[in-house]
Structure 1
Amino acid sequence: MLRVRGRELLLGLAVAAVAMVGAWLMGWWIPRSGFRLFIPEELARYRGGPGDPGLYLALLGRVYDVSSGRRHYEPGAHYSGFAGRDASRAFVTGDYSEAGLVDDVSDLSFSDMLTLKNWLSFYEKNYEFVGKVIGRFYGEDGLPTPALTLVEAMIVKGLEASKQEMKEKQKFPPCNTEWSSARGSRFWCSRKSGGVSRDWIGVPRKLFKPGAKEPQCVCVRTTGPPSDQLPDNPTHRNRGDLDHPNVGEYTGCPPLAITCSFPP
């Protein structure tokens, strides 16, 4: 969990990154005509029950009319706890208790913020935006608060981290894996292991990542120059990424075998 000072620094750096992409990621700040400002007590009346004025929910301070999805949100439905409030945190945690149905997302991770982004995109696409909740994410003037700015900043950082992770996955695709109590474990590589399609197969190796408790099985290219060298570099040893400092062989598995089996 990030400390307050660390988050303040992150906010300063990432807000600058947001500004570089031009428009805000999901149009959160784009003015829209006809939207209302709700105080939480007013929004709480919109739970879809008898005599209620409607069926609304809020996500990151944005209010959506979910009447068309009534069977999911009306009283007694599985997601009824989301109605009439901003329960942004529960969209990530899955905690549908009263303690979990809250809008505090201050300690969530970058990947959690990307999950919220995806949920927001879902509601933007499928339901009508009707207003904003005055409180954590929007002020009485309807403008974003520092808390929402931080959320957007973390989404930017999360997108950058996701892009880097995808680049790493292309370099070291995860192995295919299987396990059974009778046969033990088997790791193997193919041209589409780990969901990554490529023109090489590779061999199973342990990938040690900083901060990870256990190594991950990845497929490592065995020919050509290392990934961090230019293809026409004449000095490489034609061993692909086999000599990368963060990868290691599996004991008992032939160095160039595309399948490694380990009995129980």
Structure 2
Amino acid sequence: MSADTRLIRPRLTLPIKSGLPGAHVLRSVVRDPVGAAGLLIVTLIVIAAAFAPLIAPYDPIAMSNQRLAPPGGAFLLGSDEAGRDLFSRVLYGARTSLSVALAVVVTSAVIGVTLGLLAGFFRSWVDGIVSPAMDVLFAFPTLLLALAIVSARGPGVENLVIALVVVFVPSFARIARGATLAVRREAYIESGRAVGLGNARLILTYILPNAIAPIMVQFTTSIAVAILVEASLGYLGLGVPPPAPSWGAMLASGKALIELSIWPSVIPGLCIMIAVLGFNLLGDTLRDVLDPRLNSRR
């Protein structure tokens, strides 16, 4: 009897293309002009953040008597009101923004995807707790919710990360829950239950891979939003505490002196715009490449 059972045991395969995107996705992104531009911008930002100590010509917090110097000469992009090199500060500001954004988005993805998978797979009381909680968080604007949490807890990197994680968890939870609901009643899931596969294996092996594509798109675009929100809180004085370079704080301090020199405010503002643009372009292209409905039309 057991031998016959092994012979007729169904072979479980995913009916749709899933799993971690491979080299073909990267080739598709590079071939797309918009995706190639986004990938180039993101790569340059990552390189600038990773190698800031080697690229920066000066200490980002070292002051000099050459205040508000224009670009050129000793300072490639000019200097700020304290005589600090703007080029060095924007390089270290990229490190600050990218490290905070990555910490926030990675943590949010882990928590949100876990909650979404559990809520979509088990439904009942789990979904009854998770979904209303996510809906409550969704009811608040992103910046307003982050501002309220940071204001309550006080400025600092740790409180900033906690606030942004709370803001971004619902997006990942909703995506994971939607993907789980779409496939939990599929025939191969029922076949897996019939041959004795546990819930954990069904979730990790057959449900999670189906959510990888939208999660990756959300991951990329969330980094752009996290950079923007971190800069906004830094502009309001609730971000990374000084003297650490932060694009938002640099923009705020330069705004007060814009009649004397535009560079301390224009340069960090351009950095924020380019970084957000790069991650959004990359995210939009990934969405087009990974969406099976769009691929089927090509």
How would you bin the TM-score normalised by the shorter chain?
under 0.3
Q: TM-score, normalised by structure 2?
A: 0.24
Q: Structure 1 or 2: larger helix share? A: 2
Greater relative contact order (CA < 8 Å, ≥ 6 in sequence): 2
Q: TM-score, normalised by structure 1?
A: 0.27
Q: Structure 1 or 2: larger strand share? A: 1
